[in-house]
């Protein structure tokens, strides 16, 4: 840090403060983790200075042999780890990976047939008329994905995201009674809507998804099954999700982030079958520019780590810990969406404590417990205030907490929420944001969490 301090001391200070925050707080954000020193160090090197647009062995720049080595090794680790035919490591983030995947499917299913019809090989050779028709067709396709309040992600066709502007979207939700995915309802929606892409995967659904059934549904309506495993990639890598619950053998295309349960650097990745591979490899120049070779190197290191037996043990502990956290909360009277978990996350409905998600999130942060507020299905408080808190175990599991430790964490969360009451606005009306945490609780809880 001394080198950085010599140039911009305030940045050096922020880096130091971030390390302290991450060490001292209880990190329960389900999408965060602690990458290993090997992964972190691999990101800080001279690869950062290199341009390498193109694909392995076919670059638009000279001098890319070391980037080729890095990208091929990363892709090899990804293929071996996930049993995939093809891996593309260039996306800078999960959103980028999804954009690459959407355009790969559009390229395969809409653009290529149009080129064939017109008897040409490249878009540039299309007549103006053909090009106008193709542009219209590319823009008018349909996507069916999980609704946001059931746990889906913004990139699955929702209006604030480009996916919702590119595609006509419809959502499938969860059963109102159980909170679980209702495959018959997904099938009925798919039959009626006939999407080009059926997308499975989530950010806040605390259960496994049966991808064999999702593929059957996709096949029945002629859709491509895309799975966004950003959240649970580590559980697939660690062989906790196998058979029907492993997306790779079932989906034609799978996207992921590399920084969540997979515990790699911040980034994205696409896995696909042979038919889609050439379309995926057009991610650059379609939606990407130069790759980040230093991050691809770190992805290769993280994937190599995930191939070691210790990672399978880690992934199993992540799930055991989430179950212990959920059971600990329920034993203390809390209500969980779906009544439990079988992955790395727990969705706690905080209305039982008389709070909104926003109040709960802020009170927990006061006590050093970092979470994020999250909608629950059919949320009465909307997407900003919400009624839930999402809790995930990947980070604390990396720090070595076991199931007994997670029961303690459940106790700390319950103690804070039980000691918090909703506040009022300045003119005395009930507030969805303000809250009152009883005196001394934050300090006591922070003291106890430091011992974990």
Task: Provide, rounded to whole angstroms, the least separation between the CB of residue 153 and ligand PLP.
Answer: 4
Q: Could you give the CA distance from residue 98 to residue 104 in angstroms, rounded to a whole number? A: 10
**Closer residue to ligand PLP (CB): 195 or 328:** 195
Which one of residues 25, 27, 28, 31 is an interface residue with ligand PLP (CB under 6 A)? 31
Binding of residue 263 to ligand PLP (CB under 6 A): no
Q: What are phi and psi of 25, to 5 degrees?
A: -95, 170
Q: In 3D, which of 143, 198, 196 has the Cα closest to residue 169?
A: 143
Closer by beta carbon to ligand PLP, 111 or else 361? 361
Q: Which of 157, 201, 291, 377 binds ligand PLP (CB under 6 A)?
A: 201
The response to whether 152 counts as a known ligand-binding position is yes
428: left (phi over 0), alpha (psi -120 to 50) or beta: left
Is residue 260 annotated as part of the catalytic site, yes or no?
yes
Structure tokens at 297: 């190197």
Contact by Cβ (8 Å): 36, 30: no
Among 92-100, 209-217, 304-312, 379-387, the segment contacting ligand PLP (CB under 6 A)? 92-100
Determine contact, residues 352/376, Cβ cutoff 8 Å.
no
Q: Write the CA distances from 260 to 31, 32, 151, 286, 302, integer angstroms.
A: 5, 5, 16, 26, 11
Task: Compare residues 209 and 297 and give the one whose CB is closer to ligand PLP.
Answer: 209
Which is the catalytic residue, given 42, 174, 257, 338?
Answer: 257
386 assigned to active site: no
Q: Is 228 a catalytic residue?
A: yes
Catalytic residue among 260, 317, 390, 432: 260
- Work out whether 207 is an interface residue with ligand PLP (CB under 6 A): no
Q: Is 2 a catalytic residue?
A: no
Provide the 3-class DSSP secondary structure of residue 87: strand
Distance CA 4, CA 19 (A): 15
- Taking the least distance from each CB to ligand PLP, the nearer of 93 and 403 is 93
61 is catalytic: no
Which residues, listed in sequence order, are joined to residue 271 by a DSSP beta bridge?
87, 254
Query: Of 32, 34, 51, 182, which is the active-site residue?
Result: 51
Told to check if 321 binds ligand PLP by CB under 6 A, we report no
Q: Tell the smallest beta-carbon distance from residue 90 to ligand PLP (Å).
A: 13
Beta strand pairing call for 168-172 and 224-228: unpaired
Measured from the CB atom, is 31 or 42 closer to ligand PLP?
31
Pick the closer one to ligand PLP by CB: 152 or 326. 152
Minimum distance of ligand PLP from residue 295's CB (angstroms): 11
Q: Which residue blocks in 259-336 are alpha helix, DSSP H?
A: 277-280, 283-286, 293-306, 309-331
Query: Active-site residue 353, yes or no?
Result: no
Task: Tell me if 344 is assigned to a ligand binding site.
Answer: no
Catalytic residue among 142, 187, 266, 282: 266
Residue 222, Cβ neighbours under 10 Å: how many? 12
Site track for ligand PLP across 155-174, x = CB under 6 A: x-------------------
Q: Which of 257, 321, 356, 374: binder of ligand PLP (CB under 6 A)?
A: 257
Residue 247 binding ligand PLP, by CB under 6 A: no
Candidates 111, 149, 228, 361: give the one binding ligand PLP (CB under 6 A).
Answer: 228
* Distance from C-alpha of 148 to C-alpha of 164, rounded to nearest angstrom: 12
> Which residue among the candidates 96, 111, 228, 361 is catalytic per the annotation?
228
Candidate ranges 4-12, 89-97, 386-394, 418-426; the one touching ligand PLP (CB under 6 A): 89-97
Q: Which long-range contacts (CB under 8 A, 24 or more apart) does 427-433 make?
A: 432/356, 432/358, 432/359, 432/381, 432/385, 433/356, 433/358, 433/359, 433/362, 433/385
Tell me, by CB under 6 A, how many residues bind ligand PLP.
Answer: 14
Give me the least distance between CB of 91 and ligand PLP, in Å please: 8
Q: Determine if 94 is a binding residue for ligand PLP (CB under 6 A).
A: yes
Q: Strand pairing of 253-257 and 197-201?
A: unpaired
Closest CA to 254 of 269, 273, 271, 230: 271
DSSP notation for 239-276? TSS-GGG-STTT-SEEEEESSSTT---S-EEEEE-TTT
Q: What is the Cα–Cα distance from 205 to 143, expressed in whole angstroms?
A: 19
Record the tokens describing residue 155, joined without a space. 């990139």
Ligand-binding annotation for 262, yes or no, is: no
Q: How far is the CB of 191 from ligand PLP (least distance, A)?
A: 25
- Annotation: binding site for (6S)-5,6,7,8-tetrahydrofolate: 148, 152-154
Interface with ligand PLP (CB under 6 A): 31, 93-95, 98, 153, 155, 201, 203, 228, 230-231, 257, 268
Query: Which residues have a catalytic role annotated?
Result: 51, 53, 228, 257, 260, 266
């Amino acid at each position: 840090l001394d080198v950085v301090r010599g140039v911009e001391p305030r940045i050096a200070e922020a880096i130091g403060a971030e390390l302290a925050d991450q060490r001292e707080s209880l990190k329960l954000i389900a999408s965060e983790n602690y990458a290993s020193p090997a992964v972190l160090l691999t990101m800080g090197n001279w690869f950062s200075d290199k341009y390498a647009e193109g694909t392995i062995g076919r670059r638009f720049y000279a001098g890319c042999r070391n980037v080729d080595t890095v990208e091929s090794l990363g892709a090899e680790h990804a293929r071996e780890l996930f049993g995939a035919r093809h891996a593309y490591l260039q996306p800078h983030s999960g959103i980028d990976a999804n954009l690459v995947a959407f355009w790969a499917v559009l390229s395969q299913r809409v653009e290529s047939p149009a080129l064939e019809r017109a008897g040409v090989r490249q878009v540039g050779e299309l007549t103006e008329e053909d090009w106008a028709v193709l542009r219209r067709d590319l823009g008018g396709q349909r996507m069916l994905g999980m609704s946001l309040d059931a746990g889906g992600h913004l990139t699955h066709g929702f209006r604030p995201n480009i996916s919702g502007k590119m595609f006509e979207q419809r959502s499938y939700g969860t059963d109102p009674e159980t909170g679980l995915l209702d495959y018959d309802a997904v099938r009925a929606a798919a039959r009626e809507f006939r999407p080009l892409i059926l997308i499975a995967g989530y950010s806040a659904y605390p259960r496994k998804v049966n991808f064999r059934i999702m593929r059957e549904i996709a096949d029945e309506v002629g859709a491509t099954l895309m799975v966004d495993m950003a959240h649970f990639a580590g559980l697939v890598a660690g062989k906790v999700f196998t058979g029907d619950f492993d997306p790779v053998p079932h989906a034609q295309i799978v996207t992921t982030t590399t920084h969540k349960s997979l515990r790699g650097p911040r980034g994205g990745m696409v896995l696909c079958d042979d038919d889609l591979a050439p379309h995926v490899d057009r991610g650059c120049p379609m939606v990407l520019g130069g790759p980040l070779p230093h991050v691809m190197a770190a992805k290769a290191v993280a994937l190599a780590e995930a191939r070691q037996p210790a990672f399978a043990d880690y992934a199993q502990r992540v799930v055991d810990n989430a179950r212990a956290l959920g059971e600990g909360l329920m034993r203390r009277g809390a209500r969980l969406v779906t009544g439990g978990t079988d992955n790395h996350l727990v969705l706690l409905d905080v209305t039982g404590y008389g709070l909104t998600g926003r109040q709960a999130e802020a009170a927990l942060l006061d006590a050093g417990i970092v979470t994020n507020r999250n909608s629950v299905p059919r949320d009465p408080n909307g997407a900003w205030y919400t009624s839930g808190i999402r809790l995930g175990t990947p980070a604390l599991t990396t720090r070595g907490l076991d199931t007994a430790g997670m029961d303690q964490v459940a106790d700390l969360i319950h103690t804070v929420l039980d000691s918090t009451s909703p506040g009022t606005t300045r003119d005395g009306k009930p507030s969805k944001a303000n809250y009152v945490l009883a005196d001394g609780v934050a300090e006591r809880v922070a003291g106890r969490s430091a011992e974990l």
